[in-house]
Amino acid sequence: MTIISAQVSDELYKSLNDVAKQLQRSSSYIIREAITSYIEEMKEDIEDYNDAVEISARNEPTIPLEEVMKNLGFEDWNKKND
Q: What pLDDT does 80 receive?
A: 63
CA pair distance 79, 82, nearest whole angstrom: 6
Q: What pLDDT does 64 receive?
A: 92
Domain annotation covers residue 5: no
pTM higher than 0.85, yes or no? no
The residue range of the domain holding 56 is 10-80
Domain annotation covers residue 2: no
Contact 66, 78 (CB under 8 A): yes
Q: How many domains does the chain have?
A: 1
| Residue 78 CB contacts under 8 Å (≥ 6 apart), including other chains | 66, 69
Summarised one tens digit per residue, pLDDT across range 13-37 is 999 999 999 999 999 999 999 999 9
Domain annotation covers residue 4: no
Domain annotation covers residue 59: yes
Give the closest residue to 2 by CA, choosing from 32, 30, 22. 32
Summarised one tens digit per residue, pLDDT across range 31-75 is 999 999 999 999 999 999 999 999 999 999 999 988 998 899 887
Alpha-carbon 56 to chain mean position: 21
Domain annotation covers residue 3: no
